[in-house]
Amino acid sequence: MAFKTIIVEIDDHVALIKLNRPEALNALNQALLDELARAITEADRNEKVRCIVLTGSEKAFAAGADIKEMAEKTFVDAFSSDFFGPQTEVIERCRKPIIAAVAGYALGGGCELAMMCDFIIAADTAKFGQPEINLGVIAGIGGTQRLTRLVGKSKSMEMHLTGRFMDAEEAERSGLVSRVVPAKKLMDEAMAAAQKITEKSMLATMSAKEAINRSYETTLSEGLLHERRLFHALFATEDQKEGMSAFLEKREAQFRDK
């Protein structure tokens, strides 16, 4: 079934998903989130896809949850449908790497969506914020949890309580994004990072993602043990033999995900 609010292109093992509601600065309405969850599920299942890049437009990655759509909602509507729960859980469950390529506004749910990805590459035009407080609510898809873990309590608290935006330079300095690039180069840089990832063993890639995400869920000793066991497990793969032989033979490794 074709998508209406996103554009999906699969090229060279990378699924590029572009949020496409320019009339609303890519505000996250239910139709968009349903389509995004479907596109990510399909990419996760598609053997050809080895990395996903999620992006918006030059002006906005996403300006948050769709305020027009939610303005009249009641508690009963929100609670009974688990508003935002089902789609965000699908995105969080994706085992393949997801890179967020962010230009322009990444506000509210837009900032939270970027933080759900595995890392963020930001254009120098990017602006991050959690301005829900101005609407009489708070972040609802992870802002208070993920931003706090990424930038620390003080900055997260200030952003959530005042609604102020953070520019790209501050976002890099405070650990929200992995790096900042000129806006014109954003997609080239994000696709190049994705391309690099597609050349690795998927078994190692998925293990690294799982181990790093575990660090947010568990104690240090449990996380270290989980990492060590995954490391041990990778010795059962042909890709480990290939990767290490290739190094010793001074040639490029040819991984086969086995």
Task: Confirm whether 65 is a catalytic residue.
Answer: yes
Dmax (CA) of the chain: 65
Candidate ranges 22-30, 45-53, 214-222, 244-252; the one touching ligand CAA (CB under 6 A): 22-30
Residue from 19, 32, 94, 132 touching ligand CAA (CB under 6 A): that is: 132
Is 97 or 142 the residue whose CB approaches ligand CAA more closely? Answer: 142
The helix (H) or strand (E) run that includes residue 227 is helix 220-233
**Which of residues 16, 27, 32, 54 is near ligand CAA by CB under 6 A?**
27
Contact indicator for 112, 149 with CB cutoff of 8 Å: no
Q: Which amino acid is at 33?
A: L
Taking alpha carbons only, the member of 1, 68, 79 closest to residue 28 is 68
Site residues for ligand CAA, 137-166, by CB under 6 A, read 139-141, 143
Cα–chain center distance at 69? 24
CB of 138 to ligand CAA, least distance (A): 7
- 31 forms part of the interface with ligand CAA (CB under 6 A): no
**Both tokens assigned to 108:** 């509210």
Shortest Å distance, C-beta 18 to ligand CAA: 17
Interatomic CA distance for residues 116 and 37, integer angstroms = 12
Give whole-number Cα distances, 11 to 30, 57, 176, 194, 198, in Å. 27, 19, 28, 11, 11
Spatial contact of 191 and 16, defined as CB atoms under 8 Å apart = yes
23 belongs to the catalytic site: no
Q: Which is nearer to ligand CAA, 26 or 198 (CB)?
A: 26
The binder of ligand CAA chosen from 68, 232, 250, 251 (CB under 6 A): 68
132 given a catalytic annotation = yes
Is 253 annotated as catalytic? no
Instruction: State the minimum distance, in angstroms, from the CB of residue 143 to ligand CAA.
Output: 6
Which residue from 14, 17, 32, 63 is in contact with ligand CAA, where contact means CB under 6 A? 63
- In this structure, the strands spanning 166-167 and 127-129 are antiparallel
Which tokens go with 53?
A: 């890049």
Stretch that binds ligand CAA, among 92-100, 114-122, 129-137, 225-233 (CB under 6 A): 129-137
Name, in order, each residue with C-beta under 8 angstroms of 105's C-beta and a sequence gap of 6 or more.
Answer: 25, 59, 60, 61, 62, 63, 127, 129
Cα separation of the two ends of the chain: 32
Q: Of the listed pieces 134-142, 144-152, 198-206, 213-221, which binds ligand CAA according to CB under 6 A?
A: 134-142
Q: Select which of 112, 126, 139, 208 is catalytic.
A: 112
Catalytic residue among 108, 109, 129, 140: 109
Catalytic residues, by residue number, are 65, 109, 112, 132
